[in-house]
Structure 1
Amino acid sequence: MTALIVDGRENVETCSAGTVHALARTVGCDLRVPLADGSECTYANFDLAASAPALECVYRQVEALLPTYASVHRGAGHASQVSTDAYEAARFDVARFVGARDDDVVVFTANTTDALSLLAGCVPGDTVVLDIEHHANLLAWSGTRVVEAADTVSETITRLVAELCSRPAALLAVTGASNVTGEVLPIARLAEIAHACGARIAVDAAQLAPHRGVDLVATGVDYVALSGHKLYAPFGAGALVGRRDWLDAGAPHRAGGGAVRNVTVQHTDWLPSPARHEAGTPNLFGACALAAACRALTEIGWGAVVAHERELTGRLVAGLSATGGVRLLRLFDDAADVLGIVTFTVDGLAPSDVAARLSTGYGIGVRDGRFCAHPLLERLGLPGGAVRASLGLCTGSDDIDRLVAAVAEIAAGS
């Protein structure tokens, strides 16, 4: 048995892949919140799939940059040079984190939604998507062709092959892991299929990247989009990483200073990527925070991260499965891997009521609703939504037990 340091508290856990160390400490891990009875307790955050708290090492990185903050790319002074170097170093760290190819481009964006919208403006043709996608990936594209997912990953792949082979498509855009159920799609296999059909593949890794390693070279994925606010770096930055040619040929994501080589009243000479899509003063702190989180997760090691998460997810699934009146949601019968996301309903209770009672009665934060994935909830027969509990580095076994006990009391009508 080893002491697993996850959020500033020691939790005794078995962790075959090692120990998640102090880099996993998050800001606000000891937050005290009020309860309806007038008492207070330590907050248990199970809404990490929406936004994760900042790692302490990320916060320190931002704090260290403040004294030398200045204009990026456009200043001759020392502070500007330091800021520019930090910004470009962040680009390198993000590229390394996702296993980018040497000639791939890292474009800093506001978040995953922004990154996918940027790519959508550069795609020279139709885009194929699944009906289980987050709205960011379902709504971004022009010329969208939607494929209905099946009850198995295997049959879903067969349907994608049929669609991609039916007529040419430029891009297959898929989630790396469902933001509703946490089920992971086989992106290396999907990349192989897309390429065989003459298409490229883009992966919405907003949920995947905080939980599993992403490697563009190993998987053959052409583009990946991710968000800092889900990756323990909530400072307003995300990234699009991928092949240069479409990004250099596409319309600039925003028009403005920094994205141009020369401007006359008759003509604009746009720079190549990434500057082409990063007009205006860049978010230095967001980019550097994102890079710091990437470095921290790499140093912690994916073996330790995955072992920690699987232990706790299994504990949560077992606890909720044994609770009468609770239904757990799944999309596929054959998903090989599932992230730390457990979505459920409680018989006879609206999801909003369950979430409110968990908050006011137990100091537990979850998400309720349709999770920006309305077609998926319709498929599951839940147009009114569900309750989502999502965990990560800052979750401990005591948090899991507390949530299971609270749901059991609510389900029993206590």
Structure 2
Amino acid sequence: MTAVLSPALPLTVGADLEVPLVDGRRVRYADLDAAASAPPLQAVADHVAEVLPYYASVHRGAGYTSRVCTSLLESARATVGRFVGARTDDVVVFTRNTTDAVALLARAVPGPVLTLDLEHHATLLAWRHTPHHVVAAGDTVRGTLDALRDGLRTHRPALLAVTGASNVTGETLPLTTIVEIAHAAGARVAVDAAQLAPHRRVDLAALGADYLALSGHKLYAPYGAGVLVGRRDWLDAAPAHLAGGGAVRSVAVTDGETDTAWLPAPQRHEGGTPNLLGAVALAAACRALEPVIDSAVPAHERELAARLRAGLVDVPGVRLLECFDDAPDQVAVVAFEVETLPAGLVAAALSAEHGIGVRDGRFCAHPLLDRLTGGRDAVRASLGLAGTADDVDRLVVAVAQLVARGPGWTYAQRDGRWVPTPDPRDLDPLAVGTREGLPGCDR
């Protein structure tokens, strides 16, 4: 079946991909795992293909292709900055992903950090070498804002790091209000926009936030790049995130020791050969999303997410996970429990028997899952630009069948994961050479 997609939305690669089922049939893949990694936009893949013939060194080459690539990198930096509403004096540093971006910021913060307990591990764990205080979120957004006020007053942090949208429930927090509260207490604000930026407009200047981090692989540009965008002073004063060529103005050796003069950001934190293809891919995604991120994208995803939540609520024994009952908005991320079946078994059966890709586990947010499920694993369905009403309906019907009749295949746990036994599908269709002798191979 061909996916029916909105003509207003950019096309993604693989929207009509067919995958095998354990019963021998092939079906169109329903990718409901965009919150983990989204497929590339077709415009992104096309642009990368255009750049490849020119690929060369950046910043330090005199050749024509090197000059072209240097221009491409710096143009990509400006494009990404515009897309996220960077101020004229903000700096855009290319990183590997959001985790890397937050780790870079952690080396630059000159004082204590405050976070909520509902954060992704990338935000919870980055501050291991910095005084770090975790505030328990309330059952409501209003209660959570009160808890933040108390935490800011008690701990006097230099930085408040907060998620833009939960990677578990999709719920958002009122960022403008949070920024106002933090700034009134003398703290800067960093926004983890990994889950927010693919779904909603993120405008750093309009929010008044100080820093923003995001990942290309969640923004339809899975070529290994992310960004940290924000105020320059802390980043210029911080030790180099990745020391090496390109990050220095000069290096001398005196009495057996190196004497280094570092460049300012962004070069200070981009040592080594930069990920040019990742940067241009991320910029291409920003250009493609720019005309639709305020209108077509949220309209498409709100409709599908509402359809999904309404469908799952009607399935007996299914419980949706939510942090608050007064969240101002929810992006298209829906986590749920099936009371009678392990989450991993549900996810494995959805894939093997229905061709539906979801996520199971605790989603790198263990403290939040401790609150929502008592520490049990859950299932997460997340929609992106390639999601359709057919995908949603297939998931709801499949979950209802699993609840009513159980899996239609046999499954076992291997290395902590549920897998079909046997699994007649070719799980390595792109392998080069022989599969013989590979560990875990059924055939």
Q: TM bucket by the smaller chain? A: over 0.9
**Cα displacement string for residues 276-317 of structure 1 (whole angstroms, at most 9, x for unaligned residues):** 000000000000000010111102242111111101011001
Contact between 1:99 and 1:214, CA under 8 Å: does it hold in 2? yes
Flag the structure with larger Rg: 2
Q: What's 2:155 paired with?
A: 167
Q: So what's the TM-score if we normalise by structure 1?
A: 0.95
Equivalent of residue 101 in structure 1, options 87, 92, 97: 87
Amino acid across the alignment from 2:216: G
Contact between 1:20 and 1:304, CA under 8 Å: does it hold in 2? no
Contact between 1:27 and 1:54, CA under 8 Å: does it hold in 2? yes
- Matching of residues 234-245 of structure 1 within 5 Å: 234-245=222-233
Q: What's 1:218 paired with?
A: 206
Q: Which moved more, 1:159-168 or 1:44-53?
A: 159-168
Q: What's 2:132 paired with?
A: 144
Q: What's 1:9 paired with?
A: 3
Cα distance in structure 2, aligned partners of 1:106 and 1:99: 11
1:317 matched to 2:317? The reply is: no
**Cα displacement string for residues 75-98 of structure 1 (whole angstroms, at most 9, x for unaligned residues):** 001000000000000000100010
Equivalent of residue 292 in structure 1, options 284, 291, 294: 284
Cα distance in structure 2, aligned partners of 1:405 and 1:24: 28
Task: Indicate the SS of the match to 1:300.
Answer: coil
Q: What's 1:256 paired with?
A: 244
Cα distance in structure 1, aligned partners of 2:252 and 2:352: 60
Residue 163 of structure 1: how far off its partner (Å): 1.0
Cα distance in structure 2, aligned partners of 1:337 and 1:243: 27
**Cα displacement string for residues 32-81 of structure 1 (whole angstroms, at most 9, x for unaligned residues):** 11111111111000000000000000000100000111000000010000
Cα distance in structure 2, aligned partners of 1:174 and 1:27: 32
Equivalent of residue 376 in structure 2, options 373, 376, 384: 384
Task: Indicate the SS of the match to 1:24.
Answer: coil
Residue 8 of structure 1: how far off its partner (Å): 7.0
Cα distance in structure 2, aligned partners of 1:353 and 1:102: 50
Q: What's 1:15 paired with?
A: none
1:393 matched to 2:381? The reply is: no
Contact between 2:133 and 2:155, CA under 8 Å: does it hold in 1? no
Contact between 1:72 and 1:80, CA under 8 Å: does it hold in 2? yes
Contact between 2:139 and 2:323, CA under 8 Å: does it hold in 1? yes
**Cα displacement string for residues 304-346 of structure 1 (whole angstroms, at most 9, x for unaligned residues):** 1111110101100110011111100000111010000110011
Change (3 A) 1:224 1:8: farther
Q: Percent identity?
A: 62
Equivalent of residue 202 in structure 1, options 190, 198, 208: 190
Q: Which moved more, 1:220-229 or 1:382-391?
A: 382-391
Amino acid across the alignment from 1:129: T
Cα distance in structure 2, aligned partners of 1:327 and 1:221: 34
Amino acid across the alignment from 2:179: A
**Cα displacement string for residues 9-49 of structure 1 (whole angstroms, at most 9, x for unaligned residues):** 335xxxxxxx652x521111111111111111110000000
Amino acid across the alignment from 2:316: G
Contact between 2:2 and 2:28, CA under 8 Å: does it hold in 1? no
Q: What's 1:273 paired with?
A: 265
Q: What's 1:29 paired with?
A: 15
Q: What's 1:328 paired with?
A: 320
Cα distance in structure 1, aligned partners of 2:191 and 2:172: 12
Cα distance in structure 1, aligned partners of 2:171 and 2:235: 30
Name stretches of at least 5 consecutive residues in structure 2 with no aligned partner: 407-443
What stretches of structure 1 move > 3 A for 4+ residues in a row? none
Q: What's 1:340 paired with?
A: 332
Cα distance in structure 1, aligned partners of 2:293 and 2:104: 31
Task: Indicate the SS of the match to 1:10.
Answer: coil
Q: Aligned Cα RMSD in Å?
A: 1.2
**Cα displacement string for residues 144-179 of structure 1 (whole angstroms, at most 9, x for unaligned residues):** 100001100111110111111123210000000100
Residue 403 of structure 1: how far off its partner (Å): 0.8
Cα distance in structure 2, aligned partners of 1:306 and 1:81: 38
Amino acid across the alignment from 1:178: S
1:52 matched to 2:38? The reply is: yes
Amino acid across the alignment from 1:377: L
Cα distance in structure 2, aligned partners of 1:317 and 1:294: 29
1:43 matched to 2:29? The reply is: yes
Cα distance in structure 1, aligned partners of 2:2 and 2:78: 30
Q: What's 1:228 paired with?
A: 216
Task: Indicate the SS of the match to 2:108.
Answer: coil
